[in-house]
């Protein structure tokens, strides 16, 4: 499965940003060893249900240390028997764009 999630706290830094809290979450994801990718809005992680959800839980707990409230947005693509889809989906999209003349 692939999970795209965003986790944040209600307590921003003095500049109004939550990057320190988000960095704590991304650190948990990267240390998990599971395939992952982070963009400006979401972090994606791929693995089986239990391992992915464990990482999401631990990332959420890491953010909780930065405030008294946490917001979690999560979207999942559950496709048993498929792996490598974190990059596979993007590769197939790129090939389709190339066929259309990009």
Q: In this structure, what CATH number is given to the domain that contains residue 42?
A: 3.30.70.930
Query: Looking at residues 79-100, what average pLDDT do you find?
Result: 91
Under the banding of pLDDT at 50, 70 and 90, the label for residue 74 is very high
Taking each helix axis from N to C end, the angle separating 49-64 and 19-31, rounded to the nearest 10 degrees, works out to 150
Phi, psi of 6 (to 5 degrees): -135, 130
Q: Residue 30: which domain range?
A: 2-99
Q: How does residue 11 score in pLDDT terms, banded at 50, 70 and 90?
A: confident
Q: Is a pLDDT exceeding 90 seen at residue 15?
A: no
C-alpha to C-alpha distance for 27 and 77, rounded to whole angstroms: 22
Residue corresponding to tokens 């986790």: 7
pLDDT band at 54 (very low <50, low <70, confident <90, very high): very high
Mean pLDDT of 27-48: 97
Residue 62, both tokens: 């890491």
Judge contact between 5 and 73, C-beta under 8 A. yes
Q: Give, in degrees to the nearest 5, the angle at Cα 46 between 79 and 5.
A: 100
- pLDDT of residue 102 exceeding 70, the answer is no
Number of domains the chain is built from: 1
For 71, phi then psi, to 5°, come to: -110, 130
């Amino acid at each position: 499965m692939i999970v795209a999630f965003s986790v944040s706290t209600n307590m921003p830094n003095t500049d109004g940003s939550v990057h320190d809290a988000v960095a704590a979450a991304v650190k948990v994801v990267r240390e998990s060893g599971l395939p992952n990718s982070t963009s400006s809005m979401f972090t994606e992680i791929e693995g089986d249900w239990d391992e992915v959800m464990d990482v999401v839980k631990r990332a959420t707990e890491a953010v909780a240390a930065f405030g008294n409230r946490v917001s979690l947005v999560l979207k999942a693509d559950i496709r048993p028997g498929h792996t490598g889809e974190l990059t596979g989906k993007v590769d197939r999209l790129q090939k389709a764009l190339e066929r259309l003349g990009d």
